[in-house]
Amino acid sequence: MTTPMLTPLDREWHERRLTGFGGSEVGALLGISPYANARTVVERKGRLVIEDPDAPQRLRLRLGREMEPILLEHLWEAMAERHGSVARPRRSGLLWRMPGHDYVIADVDGFLGDWLAECKTDEYGSLPWGDPDGDPAKSVPPAYYAQVQHGLAATSKRRAVIIVLIGLHEERVYEVPRNDEYIANLLEFEGPMWARVLAIRERLGNDQDAPIEDLLPALEGEALSDHLRETFPRSTEVIRSATAEQEKLMRDLRDARRALAAAEAVDAIVTAKVQDVIKDAAGLTGADGMITWRTGKDRESTAWDLVAMAYAALIKERLTEVDRMPVGDWLDSVRTMYTTTKPGSRTFLVPRAWSK
């Protein structure tokens, strides 16, 4: 089932995405996206928040969208070379919806015959793109694998193909068959998440100011840390005594820090070996991705505190009074005028022995 063709420049395009979870949101729901988390996605859907179609887009997103027609042509050429005759690509501005599961929606990049086609750009080669001839469940980055399986579910297609442009110079093509077991697990996970969205809408429908904290997914990992920093920006001087359960948490953290320290030691050794292979080149590329070691642009740094001291000394030497005020007092008033106090940040410290 489809709905009329729209583009991200249309407000209705954004509004219709509130009717379900799109493929680009699945990674956030699963906790494997570097860009968003489940709590944010569910809350925005529940509150019916849409992006402003007239707002400036980040360059990365804009370039990715504008590169799609070119990448689809390159994908067609690669697939024709691989499989012989292949239908020319057709772009899709339609919203696809999975029969029987209306909350599973997808805006896909296009199709090559009966292949679902997705185009990706990875300008820095920082994502874990593996061997194109390997198992796609392992060689395609997890968030994109989830997006493609979600798209196959929404479009009722049996296979997909992904083309990725890495570092603006390397193309890779991945053929991804439909994984019905994976899709069943996705539905089992997405269904309760969508139920949260509907519950939030029902509660806010009766009272726009009603609390919805109990309906939002729990925060974990970095997302939880960011939330806690915003909620508790300053500390008291109280040091709490840990309960038995909290002692267990502290031991888990200690063990994690020790494992991290051991991994970092190995990382440092292997990094040095890779750098020794790269030597004066810009990087190294292989089946598992690209590593770069480029020289950045030179940057100038001005010690403005020393500049200010020099100006202050010059003023004291040349002037005796400014508007009948002693020069020292006048400088103090200027300093006060341009001095601001920033609240101190909270520093999380653990015993040093935990990292050894």
Q: Provide Rg for the chain, Cα atoms.
A: 27
- ∠ at Cα 268 (264, 274), nearest 5°? 135
User: What pLDDT shows up at residue 100?
Assistant: 95
Domain with CATH 3.90.320.10 in the chain: 2-192
CATH topology of domain 2-192: Lambda Exonuclease; Chain A (3.90.320)
Q: What is the pLDDT of residue 1?
A: 47
Predicted local confidence at residue 271, as pLDDT:
94
Amino acid at 12: E
79: its two tokens: 């697939």
Q: Convert the pLDDT of each residue in 298-321 to its tens digit.
A: 888 888 888 888 888 888 777 777
List CB contacts of 19: < 8 A, sequence separation 6 or more.
Answer: 97, 102, 103, 105
pLDDT at position 300: 85
Q: Which residue has the tokens 């909270």?
A: 346
Per residue, the 3-state secondary structure of 94-135, as one string, reads CEEEECCEEEEEECCCEEECCEEEEEEEECCCCCCCCCCCCC
User: pLDDT tens digits, residue range 212-230?
Assistant: 999 999 877 777 787 788 8
Within the chain, which residues score under 50 in pLDDT?
1-2
Phi, psi of 252 (to 5 degrees): -60, -40
DSSP secondary structure letters along 218-262: PP-HHHHHHHHHHH--S--S--PPP-HHHHHHHHHHHHHHHHHHH
Cβ atoms 139, 287 nearer than 8 A: no
Q: Which two tokens stand for residue 105?
A: 């929606």
